Homo-oligomer: A and B are copies of this chain.
């Protein structure tokens, strides 16, 4: 296992390069603190389609086109498309893959899909199985509410621990080290991936996803540091996907119990994407589009600008299932991580 370190971590010796990205959001996300960083803002939630589901599919497709267009590339040039969404049978991703016509690997790990996708995409590149891959995740507030909770038309009310599923799609284009290419980002690469475990502390409240995911995030972070022999101080930024305000507090406490004092270096995409004072989002944003949009819209630009040198990104997934919940199961979580590094050209 020449490229494996410790229990769960993969080492990319020829670190895949991040060469482009795109993020597409709805009006709500565009009105938040990171609004200026997103590529495309949908005029309204159906984006001219007949249904929210078809709008979500369009977001997936458009995010790939947008990221590739910055490179002058066509989808046919992709050696693999990897991604997923929150909808049953991954209908956003699968129907999008039909249109994009690239070899496609469908992935599901709830809101941890963006990093599962980056991790496996990096394996394909570092291992010499591909030269260009696109990694994508998407979610939509209206489709997610209908599927996981209540149709919006019913006008249900949220408890204060609820989070708002972000309507967004994010796409990262990776290429193998040393490939000559047009590129939007000149300095960014992925050096490690840590495969998550399914962790379950017994949360049963579908309106408290942050609490369901926080244990998995803490587990993955602690394992990653143990596997790599690194300290928290080796990272400028520890990014979680969509724990929200309640889940973030829990995450920091769980980390503290493991001897990890996060201090100022923790950023949660679910906390960052909305303004809690002016936007009515309870505990923040969620959904696999949340980390996808914040990463591909905001974080990569900040890293390329030199604001952060090394970050660990853990998109966090709550494996919520209405069927399992009705059968009295708790909600397990999972968090896959990748390490992003800015290297001098």
Interface residues of A (CB under 8 A from B): 1-4, 7-8, 10, 50-51, 53-54, 79-80, 84, 87-91, 94-95, 97-98, 101-110, 116, 120, 123-124, 126-131, 147, 176, 195-200, 319-324, 327, 329, 332, 334, 336
Contact = CB atoms under 8 A, between A and B. Distances in A.
Copies in the assembly, this chain = 2
A131 B1 CA distance: 6
Contact of A176 (B1, B7, B106, B197): B1
Contact of A108 (B84, B102, B332): B84
A1 B79 contact: yes
Contacts of A94: 198, 319, 321, 332, 334
Given A91-B329, A103-B197, A123-B127, 5 more contacts: A3-B128, A3-B129, A8-B103, A88-B321, A106-B334
A102 B199 CA distance: 10
A-B pairs with lowest CB-CB distance, top 8: A127-B127, A103-B195, A89-B321, A98-B198, A2-B128, A3-B128, A88-B88, A97-B198
Contacts of A3: 127-129
Given A107-B108, A129-B10, A80 B195 contact: yes
Contact of A89 (B79, B120, B195, B324): B324
A334 B4 contact: no
B53 A7 contact: no
Nearest to A328: B50
B197 A104 contact: yes
Contact of A129 (B50, B123, B329): B123
Contact of A127 (B103, B126, B323): B126
Nearest to A318: B89
A209 to B, nearest CB: 13
A105 B101 contact: no
B91 A324 contact: yes
B53 A324 contact: yes
B323 A53 contact: yes
A210 to B, nearest CB: 18
A200 B108 CA distance: 22
B87 A323 contact: yes
A320 B123 contact: no
Nearest to A176: B1
A91 B51 CA distance: 26
Contacts of A98: 198-200, 332
Contacts of A322: 88
Contacts of A2: 128
A106 B101 contact: no
Contacts of A1: 79, 128-131, 176
B53 A101 contact: no
Contacts of A90: 108, 319
